[in-house]
Amino acid sequence: MEVSLFNHRTVFMHLAAVVLLLPLAATAHAQGRSTTFAVTRSAGDLRTADQIIDTMIRERTLVVRSVERDALLPDRVHERLDQFMSGVRVVGGDLRRQTAPDGTVSVFGTLHTELTLDLTPRLAGDAVRAAIASAAGGEATGPDPELVILPLSDGYHLAYRGQAIAGLEILNVFVDANSGGPLQQFSDFISDVGKGTGAYGDLKKVSAKAMSGTFVTDDVLRPTDITTYDMKGNLTRLLSILNVQTAVAASDIASDTDNDWTDSTVVDAHVYAGWYYDYLVKRLGRRGTDNNDLRMAVFTHPVRLADLGSAVPAVVGQYYLNAFECNTCGPNGRGAVVFGEGAPRNTVIPGVEVKPFSAALDVVAHELTHGVTGHSAGLNGFQYSEAGALNEAFSDMFGAATAFFYLPPGNAPMQASYLGGKDLSVPSGALGRSLSNPRSTGDPDHYTQRFVGGDPHYNSTIASHAFYLAIEGGRNATSGLSVQGVGAANREQIEKAFFRALTSLMPSSSTFALTRAATIQAARDLYGAGSAAEGAVTQAWDAVGVQPRTLPTAALLPNPAIPSTAVCTGLANPHWLLGVTTSAGSSSLRVTQWALDFFDHTGALQDHEMFSGTAFAQAFNQCGPGNANVMAQTDACSTFCVDLRGDTNGAAQVTFNAVDASGQPIVFSSPRIALLPR
């Protein structure tokens, strides 16, 4: 038996997403206590929660960021509150409080207490921006960096948060406020009526405006302006616009001389953005991505198909085979969506043509939903977290929901289905994630199959499958549990419950468990306790294995992002690249030792490999700084290579021994997983 701990810089590609795993600096950190609130009238002590919140508001340790009236229940009001310590914001320390005329209805979020952090930074001025630039390997940009308290899995760090331009994207960067060392980073990229033809030859009405003897894709018929730009393959200019270094010009807007549009990429992008806006208003009562009719800036043709053969892999991945949204990019730094150019048949995938990424209505809606999330729950935090996966999940949910709102159900192009992005390829469905059967696209359908240390798109199907089950009903393949869905005729109930949870109830640091509580509460608010919608949502989360996060759990699975042959050397064949995630519940943990058990093809124990707490700190650094301590409600994860001494199949399991915050010993294990030849 060989076990090789795997820890190196890796690029992951998964359906139009690039995720970079970066080494984290070992820096001094302070301890504290995190408390997660999922308090409702049916569960928890709302009076105590109110007292805590009101006291902290008076002390200015909680600051009301916004107060909004509920679009679906006008008698309800939602407060969003941010936590501060002596004027320094605590990242992820935010609450959502829902009130009705007769008092508080629910409180969701996380607070951090008993912090002992010294809030005097040693870095200042130009040294901060230099540290951010160095950490990103690029150029610092954007507003002045913000001094924050950053909770990571090993404790609390005084940090600066800023932005940097690195290669083809904008990064949000956290550096240690004393040493300048890197702590964490993630990408910021999550009329008159004419007619035009889409990518599938379908005739569409194009909301255009006459200007200077021509027509441009600037929609002025809707309350929000929707402007679609044609960058004509000028990637350098696009990057300068996205980085807010260059202003857009009238000549950047897509144009047509006779209002009979033949550029299908522009037609699809512009029309589908308008359809998405209409879906938000008509179905959910929301006025655009920010609920205040913020302009939608849509960019097409970032590159030229003719240049595909000479493009470097990073450009291919980001601007040919991708679509993305960026909340701080584009005109006036107010947000932008970019749709990749696609690829001709056989140039990237044998036998497959990749359409321009605006060709699929659900993909356009997916990207614009990222804008909704950024302006509400704000789940655009670290990609290596459950919040990052939830960000992708909600975009998949409302990508599908928008398609079902406009298109007939079916598996052909221009029909709505639960296979996200099926219209991106010919033959249809060669790309995508399945909400109805995640296993069919190589994605997890159950919480025990999560891997936090990789691409957040991968874990997203745990939540989006719950959304599907709550609508359509059915049986989860892993748990075997059945769900009585509300039925396709009542899909509006589940859409409203999940959307209301996202935009009104959920905080930025949401976990799967907190999302379970918030969506159940939203269904109860809208349709009543004991309603079919509440029951369907509850059963769906049960079926995918998401429960209140009180006890520690572990998950183990073959790493889905890259083949083992790419990184595992010196091992017997076959061998596997395994991802492992350990998650703390309501108590912080100190891991004292951990073990990997391997079983041969008969099920007999083949090896029992023991590791120390020190080895845990060294190995588990993919979604945190690497430490034997794991804070409450956080995760630690790692990847390693294994073989079975030449045995062609078998199984594996990981077990952790830890001590909780009260000093009590705890033992917990992952499910035993099968290791099968690929």
Residue 569, domain CATH: 2.60.40.1470
How many Å apart are CA 519 and CA 532, to the nearest integer?
13
How many Å apart are CA 591 and CA 614, to the nearest integer?
9
Q: Name the domain boundary from 85, 113, 141.
A: 113
How many Å apart are CA 74 and CA 69, to the nearest integer?
6
| Same domain (yes/no): 414, 519 | yes
Query: Is 485 among the domain residues?
Result: yes
| Same domain (yes/no): 560, 617 | yes
Amino acid at 374: G
Report whether 324 contacts 367 (CB < 8 A). yes
pLDDT at 402 over 80: yes
| Same domain (yes/no): 543, 554 | no
**Catalytic residue IDs:** 367, 457
Query: Which string of b and e fits 148-158 if b means at least 16 CB within 10 Å?
Result: bbbbbbbbbbb
SS3 label, residue 220: coil
How many Å apart are CA 430 and CA 443, to the nearest integer?
15
| Same domain (yes/no): 322, 454 | no
Q: Name the domain boundary from 88, 113, 138.
A: 113
- pLDDT-based confidence at 168, cuts 50/70/90? confident
| Same domain (yes/no): 411, 322 | no
- Nearest Cα neighbor of 271 from 216, 217, 215 is 217
Query: Is 425 among the domain residues?
Result: yes
Query: Is 539 among the domain residues?
Result: yes
The dihedral through the CA atoms of 395, 401, 402, 403 has a sign that is positive
How many Å apart are CA 319 and CA 168, to the nearest integer?
9
Query: Is 174 among the domain residues?
Result: no
**What is the pLDDT, as a whole number, of residue 257?**
92
pLDDT at 186 over 60: yes
| Same domain (yes/no): 395, 457 | yes
Which CATH number do you get for residue 434? 1.10.390.10
**What is the pLDDT, as a whole number, of residue 8?**
32
| Same domain (yes/no): 507, 562 | no
* 188 phi/psi in degrees, rounded to 5: -85, -10
The mean per-residue pLDDT over the stretch 622-641 comes to 88
Q: Which two tokens stand for residue 588?
A: 């912080």
- Nearest Cα neighbor of 543 from 604, 468, 636, 648 is 468
Amino acid at 322: N
Beta-carbon contacts of residue 577 (< 8 Å; ≥ 6 apart): 6, 558, 559, 562, 563, 564, 567, 568, 639, 640, 641
- pLDDT-based confidence at 611, cuts 50/70/90? very high
Report the number of distinct structural domains present in the chain.
4
| Same domain (yes/no): 242, 313 | yes
pLDDT at 177 over 90: yes
Report whether 162 contacts 133 (CB < 8 A). no
Beta-carbon contacts of residue 559 (< 8 Å; ≥ 6 apart): 451, 454, 577, 578, 579, 639
pLDDT at 564 over 60: no
SS (H, E, C) 515-581: HHHHHHHHHHHHHCCCCHHHHHHHHHHHHCCCCCCCCCEEEEEECCCCCHHHCCCCCCCCEEEEEEE
Q: Which two tokens stand for residue 46?
A: 């709302």
Query: Is 76 among the domain residues?
Result: yes
Report whether 401 contacts 279 (CB < 8 A). yes
The mean per-residue pLDDT over the stretch 440-454 comes to 90
Whole-Å CA distances, 115 to 63, 534, 550: 18, 38, 22
* Tens-place pLDDT, residues 108-126: 999 998 898 999 999 999 9
How many Å apart are CA 261 and CA 445, to the nearest integer?
42
| Same domain (yes/no): 396, 411 | yes
Residue with tokens 């679009």: 71
Report whether 302 contacts 321 (CB < 8 A). no
The mean per-residue pLDDT over the stretch 480-490 comes to 98
Query: Is 501 among the domain residues?
Result: yes
pLDDT at 15 over 60: no
Q: What is the pTM of this model?
A: 0.93
The dihedral through the CA atoms of 474, 479, 480, 484 has a sign that is negative
| Same domain (yes/no): 464, 613 | no
- Nearest Cα neighbor of 326 from 318, 334, 335, 315 is 335
**What is the pLDDT, as a whole number, of residue 87?**
96
Amino acid at 189: F
**What is the pLDDT, as a whole number, of residue 557?**
87
| Same domain (yes/no): 613, 473 | no
Residue with tokens 């060294």: 618
Q: Nearest 5 degrees, angle CA 114-CA 120-CA 122?
A: 135
Which CATH number do you get for residue 217? 3.10.170.10
Beta-carbon contacts of residue 92 (< 8 Å; ≥ 6 apart): 110, 151, 381, 507, 508, 509
Residue with tokens 């950047």: 252
Query: Is 284 among the domain residues?
Result: yes
Query: Is 26 among the domain residues?
Result: no
Least confident of 12-26, 79-93, 334-348, 503-517: 12-26
Of the two residues 542 and 220, the one the predictor is more confident about is 542
How many Å apart are CA 469 and CA 445, to the nearest integer?
11
Mean of the per-residue pLDDT values of the chain: 90
Q: Name the domain boundary from 98, 113, 128.
A: 113
- pLDDT-based confidence at 537, cuts 50/70/90? very high
* Tens-place pLDDT, residues 579-602: 999 999 999 999 999 999 999 999
pLDDT at 7 over 70: no
Beta-carbon contacts of residue 360 (< 8 Å; ≥ 6 apart): 421, 422, 423, 424
| Same domain (yes/no): 544, 409 | yes
To the nearest whole percent, how much of the chain has pLDDT over 70? 93
**What is the pLDDT, as a whole number, of residue 573?**
85
The mean per-residue pLDDT over the stretch 380-409 comes to 90
**What is the pLDDT, as a whole number, of residue 486?**
98
Which CATH number do you get for residue 102? 3.10.450
**What is the pLDDT, as a whole number, of residue 198?**
75
For residue 38, give its domain range.
33-113
How many Å apart are CA 138 and CA 109, to the nearest integer?
34
The mean per-residue pLDDT over the stretch 280-291 comes to 97
pLDDT at 293 over 70: yes
pLDDT at 202 over 80: no
Q: Would strands 353-354 and 474-475 be described as parallel, antiparallel, or unpaired?
A: unpaired
- pLDDT-based confidence at 230, cuts 50/70/90? very high
Q: Which two tokens stand for residue 299?
A: 């960019």
